[in-house]
Amino acid sequence: MKKIKFLFLLISAFTFAQQSVLEKKINSIIKDKKATVAVSVLGFENGFKYNKNGEKKLPMQSVFKFHIAAAVLDLVDKGKLSLDKKILLDKSNLLENTWSPLRDKYKDKNAEVPLSEIIDQTVAMSDNNGCDILLKLIGGTQTVQKFMDSKGVKGFQIKFNEEEMHKDWQAQYENYSTTNSAVQVLKKFYDGKLLSKKSTDYLMKVMLGTKTGLNKMVEQLPKNTPVARKTGSSGKNKDGLTGAENEIGIVTLPNGKHYAIALFVSNSTETDAVNCKIISDISKSVWDHFNK
């Protein structure tokens, strides 16, 4: 019994030492930055945990499109929706003055596209119109909240869609998550505790193909590192404040192991470039930590 207790204390001391080294690196990155920075890291196989401000409820922005896509795929798993279901795209749901590759592709056309294309564009390209089309299809943000609640996801709230956030800057603060919640929900997703294997594999593939935020989490990682990720960004308001510059993801290491990471930069008066560099630098530090 004493031997087991000693080994436990030894492992605990080693883990604390690892966390302290990472903490110093992250503190040096965010020192003097005029922003709230939250970071959570979860090693899937080794159980390593680290967080800074991990329980702060911060605006998600488009990170919530991961949660929305998962709620849609839950209905696919239940047979209530099909990825082949045709969705009509027209002027009523392809709004102007918002980020929307779907609108740019199908502008001035009434097109019917499969649900799978809407999901792909919403997650991999962070399409705002696609996001609101999905929410309307499943009955609104309350459907996403109920699904996440049913899966035991804590520290998460969704109340407003993209159109509503565009009209009211403060609305984004009602769509919040903690970074601790984000890494935990990614672990549930990876473990197949959110969706069926088929839907898990499908959404994982979509996230691995994410095209946004190339100057954030993946910027300094080795080329072709598999990272299943979702970005989020508020832009700046008239006072020069960034509500959110975010990213969450599952990183596959060269040894085949994995970790989840969530990085939220909130209420920042730094430039967009600095906000993204904070995420990039912290992501590289975490990568280095797992590849010693």
Q: Which residues are catalytic?
A: 62, 162
Q: Do residues 190 and 260 touch, judged by C-beta distance below 8 A?
A: yes
Q: Which of 106, 169, 162 is nearest to 129 (CA)?
A: 162
Residues in the chain: 292
Q: Find the DSSP H helices in 168-228.
A: 179-190, 197-208
Q: Do residues 177 and 63 touch, judged by C-beta distance below 8 A?
A: yes
Tracing tokens 């984004």 back to the chain, one arrives at 172
Strands 242-252 and 49-52: unpaired
Instruction: Check residue 97 and give left, alpha or beta (phi > 0: left; psi -120 to 50: alpha).
Output: left
Could you tell me the two tokens for 234? 């508020």
Q: Which of 232, 233, 234, 266 is nearest to 248 (CA)?
A: 232
What whole-number distance in Å separates Cα of residue 275 and Cα of residue 146?
32
Q: Do residues 11 and 157 touch, judged by C-beta distance below 8 A?
A: no
Q: Which of 131, 125, 289, 129 is nearest to 214 (CA)?
A: 125
DSSP bridge partners of 261: 41, 249
What whole-number distance in Å separates Cα of residue 123 and Cα of residue 194?
17
Strands 242-252 and 227-233: antiparallel
What whole-number distance in Å separates Cα of residue 134 and Cα of residue 73?
10
